[in-house]
Amino acid sequence: AQSVTQLDSQVPVFEEAPVELRCNYSSSVSVYLFWYVQYPNQGLQLLLKYLSGSTLVKGINGFEAEFNKSQTSFHLRKPSVHISDTAEYFCAVSEGDDKIIFGKGTRLHILP
Amino acid sequence: EAQVTQNPRYLITVTGKKLTVTCSQNMNHEYMSWYRQDPGLGLRQIYYSMNVEVTDKGDVPEGYKVSRKEKRNFPLILESPSPNQTSLYFCASSFRQGHQPQHFGDGTRLSIL
């Protein structure tokens, strides 16, 4: 059965510093991977997705993620964060059927 | 504008008083789903629907009902709400295939006293 682990529940980082939010998954088949962002008092919106092809995926707002099949990881990165990146980030995995599993989320705190 | 609309956004009610949270999407999506979000637990799926008149239980269906009489609407029904159903609820929709991203509503915050 598929599962998703977000290793950090909270990540504090200084403004303009780089950040990496970690996500590991388990699945016995090929997967599709997603990162969603939830700004305060809003629903989730898609940040980026990996379906196939290049393992480096670029998303909105300068974020990118790298699919690593051997390590079953899909970590999210941004080279320089801004105060507006303060949000909760969710990693999600699908095996191509109608089931999608979400991680428990990582809160990104941007420090001035 | 493509959107998923939930109503109400906020509701405070009492134990045992039936309530319905509506969800409507304008993207002609086949797949719709309800989640609840609780601190430290992330999003957990309550029910989902792959098409009209087809619904299935998610991970935490107890105490909830749904219906899918029309493609655009997917209401969540709490027949006899209890305090442990106090939570933030999200409706989402997508095309049928699992690799399609989901579109989320803005959420409904329910407090059951």
Q: Is the pLDDT of residue A64 over 70?
A: yes
Q: Is the pLDDT of residue A7 over 70?
A: yes
Tell if the CB–CB gap between A42 and B90 is shorter than 8 Å. no
> A83: which 2 tokens?
């105060």
**pLDDT tens-place string over residues B95-108:** 876 677 889 999 99
Mean pLDDT of A17-35: 91
CB pairs under 8 A between A and B: 53
Tell if the CB–CB gap between A98 and B50 is shorter than 8 Å. yes
**Minimal CA separation from A72 to chain B, in Å:** 18
HSE at residue B35, side-chain half, CA atoms within 13 A, is 25
Mean pLDDT of A24-50: 90
Q: Is the pLDDT of residue A99 over 90?
A: no
How many CB atoms are closer than 10 A to CB B112?
19
At residue B54, the pLDDT reads 92
Which residues, at least 6 apart from B78, have a Cβ–Cβ distance to it below 8 Å?
Answer: B18, B19, B20, B21, B63, B64, B65, B85, B110
Q: Give the chain B residue whose CA is nearest to the CA of A35.
A: B101
Q: Is the pLDDT of residue A41 over 90?
A: no
Mean pLDDT over each residue of chain A, to the nearest integer:
92
| Residue ranges of chain B with per-residue pLDDT less than 50 | none
Give B19 or A51, the one with higher predicted confidence: B19
At residue A94, the pLDDT reads 86
Q: Given pLDDT bands bounded at 50, 70 and 90, which one contains residue A53?
A: confident
At residue B98, the pLDDT reads 65
